[in-house]
Structure 1
Amino acid sequence: MLYDCNEQLKQFSHVNQKALDQYVNFTEQREQLQRRRAELDAGDEKIRELISVLDQRKDESIERTFKGVARHFREVFSELVQGGHGYLVMMKKKDGDAGDDDMDEDAPREADPEGRIEKYIGVVCLETHA
């Protein structure tokens, strides 16, 4: 009977004897990697949120500073050029547009869906004479 059992076991000699141990080991490694990926994804999201907040603050600061400079420019220009009016206008580029000038000097700009204000491409001086 022992001989018959050994002969039947020889049929399975090609089966990997360590397969179960390897499966358990690989399953544990996979779970560790999935936990690590979740940690990295959470860290990535926090970094993206921080970048968005910093971009928004930076752009708000640029706009606030520009509006102050533009206001003083108008005052100085009218003093230097009698009867003339000068304006500084921020040129911006937004989503493929060639440019958009902003005559609104007091209201804050709305942020786009990514939390960023349009990218600035330059400043233009407009002048008029009475």
Structure 2
Amino acid sequence: MSESIYVDDDSQYESILETQAPPQISNLRRRPVGHKKAKELKRKAVVKESSQDDKELKEIMRSYKDCMIENKDLKVMFKETATIQTPAKRRWVQQKQADIIEKSSSRLLNFEDEVYRLQPPEDDDF
């Protein structure tokens, strides 16, 4: 059998057969026992509950942000441009109104709807 040489920390040579596996490092993390196991399960439950709460809070904040944007858009849309005396501000409000109309019309044309899905031809002559 052939032999290979390994150097350890003490710079001494050891002779180990190539077919022999090197020593395994023991698993440092062991399973929790008794109250440690219960404590670990409780910690995992708290983390899971916290992540669920975070998701719910994120959803609430997103809907709140959407409402705030919609209210701001409505405020601009109800602005009477004839009463605005400054031409630059009037043009700005008119441009914002046009942008809001474009944004709302693009939302109405949701291309994920069934109406807009392209269907393959029904007569397959393959």
| Superposition TM-score, scaled by structure 1 size | 0.43
Give the strand-richer structure, 1 or 2: 1
Query: TM-score when scaled to structure 2?
Result: 0.45
Greater relative contact order (CA < 8 Å, ≥ 6 in sequence): 1
